[in-house]
């Protein structure tokens, strides 16, 4: 990558044979690009290779057992992309360097590097041998570092600035199902709503500003899914219960709940008032718990055991914000972190497969700052003076969480801007 001046390439380490990430969205952005997959002859490596070739990529499959890669290449003939078998022992430094030189000479360079090859020798530390430890280190660590170094050098050398790896989207099973998004009128809530409707879901957009949700529903007409605006105040318990009753009556029930609505009142602890603290607790904690309780009840009532509850948490749910005035807000988000894990424990006791996830972004450029009471100038300063992310960045992570296979739960996602 560095050799070709590519500064937006991606290196993916497959850290465990029990986990395979999705990283394609299927929008054609990867067609004709070149991927290197180590250990492609079986298991996750073969699965990733098949998908990349199906997406139109040229895939170099590097393995010691090149015969199995050749068999896979024969199987994949006729697909949009191609598989080029390459016999290489990536624990041999000279072979790795030679492989990258060949790729440069014959194919131009590497745009995606999937470090999949790995080795485990199952022995206790008191029984293992230095030879076995070195074998694991050579393949699991040194080879990963060397392939990464060479891939980055290849990208940078070519000065390609549109290298990209996209998420593999497994949202098909959610098409036609019902999602509830709180705080759907703006910011992250609106972004999530747009994406879920685009994925074919029936989305209940709940907000006090229902006019904005209706405008969003009008904008989204013609999309695979639909947006149903509902006006309600989730800090009013009776309105929440009534909303779930309406969803049950008109749509059947909730399959996905995105607890997005939140509030911050910027005052130091020694200056705040009980009224302001209760407002934050009511929205950030109590309403979240009530929506979650009603969602899980809706799932259980219908025998739905693959539903998903996603809390839009915050980095401040894991760390204390350094800026003045955020301390009580941080406390409410720490409660969300605790309650998320507590809910997992409750569901685990009943052997439920309902998934609970928490997504904690750092500074997201939305209306949040204005809603805290900041002036326009202060809000501009809040966002422009430090790294920040956009609402769609959070939505991308949420889709990754939601699209994971039913037997996979992604517990917590922390999102930092670079």
- How far is the C-alpha of 135 from the C-alpha of 141, rounded, in Å? 10
| DSSP run (H or E) holding 312 | strand 308-312
Three-state SS for 261-286 is CCCCCCCCCCCCCHHHHHHHHHHHHH
Quick check: 57 and 33 in contact, CB under 8 A? Answer: yes
CA distances in angstroms from 235 to 188, 204, 226, listed in the order given: 19, 17, 25
Take residue 390 and report the two structure tokens written for it.
Answer: 């956009």
- How far is the C-alpha of 263 from the C-alpha of 265, rounded, in Å? 7
- How far is the C-alpha of 321 from the C-alpha of 151, rounded, in Å? 37
Catalytic one of 232, 319, 329, 383: 329
- How far is the C-alpha of 176 from the C-alpha of 168, rounded, in Å? 20
Residue 314 CA from chain centroid, whole number? 15
| DSSP run (H or E) holding 229 | strand 226-231
Take residue 193 and report the two structure tokens written for it.
Answer: 């709503």
Quick check: 46 and 40 in contact, CB under 8 A? Answer: yes
Let me know how long the chain is: 418
Provide the angle, in degrees to the nearest 10, between the axes of the packed helices 93-107 and 143-157: 30
Quick check: 24 and 169 in contact, CB under 8 A? Answer: yes
Does the annotation mark 232 as catalytic?
A: no
Quick check: 140 and 119 in contact, CB under 8 A? Answer: yes
Quick check: 82 and 52 in contact, CB under 8 A? Answer: no
Quick check: 96 and 70 in contact, CB under 8 A? Answer: no
Return the sign of the alpha-carbon dihedral for residues 249, 251, 252, 254.
negative
CA distances in angstroms from 406 to 26, 29, 393, 403, 410, listed in the order given: 21, 27, 23, 8, 10
Active site residues: 329
């Amino acid at each position: 990558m560095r050799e070709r001046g590519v500064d937006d390439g991606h290196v993916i380490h497959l850290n465990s044979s029990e986990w395979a990430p999705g990283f394609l969205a299927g929008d054609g952005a990867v067609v004709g690009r070149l991927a290197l997959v180590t250990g492609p002859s079986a298991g996750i490596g073969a699965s990733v290779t098949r998908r990349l070739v199906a997406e139109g990529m040229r895939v170099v499959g590097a393995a010691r057992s090149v015969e199995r890669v050749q068999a896979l290449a024969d199987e994949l003939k006729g697909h949009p992309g191609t598989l080029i078998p390459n016999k290489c022992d990536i624990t041999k430094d000279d072979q790795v360097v030679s492989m990258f030189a060949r790729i440069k000479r014959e194919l131009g360079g590497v745009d995606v590097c999937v470090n999949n090859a790995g080795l485990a020798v199952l022995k206790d530390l008191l029984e293992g041998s230095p030879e076995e430890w070195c074998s694991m280190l050579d393949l699991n660590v040194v080879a990963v570092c060397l392939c990464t170094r060479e891939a980055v050098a290849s990208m940078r050398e070519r000065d390609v600035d549109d290298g990209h790896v996209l998420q593999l989207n497994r949202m098909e099973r959610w098409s036609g199902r019902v999602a509830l998004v709180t705080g759907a009128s703006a910011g992250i809530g609106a972004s999530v709503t747009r994406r879920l409707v685009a994925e074919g879901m029936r989305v209940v957009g709940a907000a006090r500003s229902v006019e904005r949700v209706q405008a969003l529903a009008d904008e989204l007409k013609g999309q695979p899914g639909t947006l149903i605006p509902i006006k309600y105040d989730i800090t009013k318990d009776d309105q929440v219960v009534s909303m779930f009753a309406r969803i049950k009556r008109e749509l059947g029930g909730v399959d996905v709940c995105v607890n997005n609505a939140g509030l911050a009142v910027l005052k130091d602890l020694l200056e705040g008032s009980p009224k302001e603290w209760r407002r934050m607790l009511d929205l950030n904690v109590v309403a979240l718990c009530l929506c979650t309780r009603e969602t899980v009840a809706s799932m259980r009532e219908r025998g739905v055991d693959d539903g998903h509850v996603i809390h839009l948490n915050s980095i401040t749910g894991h760390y204390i914000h350094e800026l003045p005035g955020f301390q009580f807000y941080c406390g409410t988000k720490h409660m969300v972190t605790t309650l998320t894990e507590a809910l997992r424990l409750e569901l685990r006791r009943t052997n439920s497969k309902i998934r609970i996830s928490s997504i904690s972004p750092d500074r997201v450029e939305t209306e949040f700052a204005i809603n805290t009471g900041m002036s326009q100038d202060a809000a501009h300063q809040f966002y422009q003076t430090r790294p920040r992310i956009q609402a769609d960045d959070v939505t991308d992570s949420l889709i990754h969480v939601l699209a994971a296979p039913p037997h996979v739960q992604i517990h917590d996602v922390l999102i930092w801007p670079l």
